[in-house]
Structure 1
């Protein structure tokens, strides 16, 4: 990610500490800064549909 995300994390923490700011915003900024090199793996298969997996008792 970009350098400004690394700068936004400490600013958000200072806002929380000094002025009782929004803690969720600070947490989001810190997590983005820590995980800036992580690229999630895409699942091309996707979710399976919920139908057809289980048999009903009456159908056995």
Structure 2
């Protein structure tokens, strides 16, 4: 937990003040002070690390397997 806090505080001011990093710091403080679930802090840090990732939407998606099978005759 301390390593994560030091990593966040070592960020440049522009990134440090991003809302995602602020939420991650708040989650770390909440977990450290009140002994809350550490998964909360992990989720906050992971969301801050991946804040620029935009998932691509594939409208076709996966095709169902039953459309490709051939029946034995």
Q: Same fold (TM over 0.5)?
A: yes
Whichever structure has more helix as a proportion of its residues is 2
How far off its partner does 1:46 sit? 1.1
Report the RMSD for the aligned CA atoms in angstroms. 1.8
Distance in structure 1 (CA, Å) of the matches to 2:21 and 2:70: 52
* Higher RCO structure, 1 or 2 (CA under 8 Å, sep 6+): 1
Q: 1:26 aligns with which of 30, 41, 46?
A: 41
TM-score between the two structures when normalised by the length of structure 2: 0.60
Aligned length, in residue pairs: 56
**Structure 1 segments of 4+ aligned residues over 2 angstroms from their partners:** 52-56
Give yes or no for contact 2:30–2:36 (8 Å, CA) kept in 1.
yes
Whether the aligned pair in 1 keeps the contact of 2:27 and 2:41 (CA below 8 Å) is: yes
Residue 53 (structure 1) shift: 2.5
Q: Which runs of 5+ in 1 are unaligned?
A: none
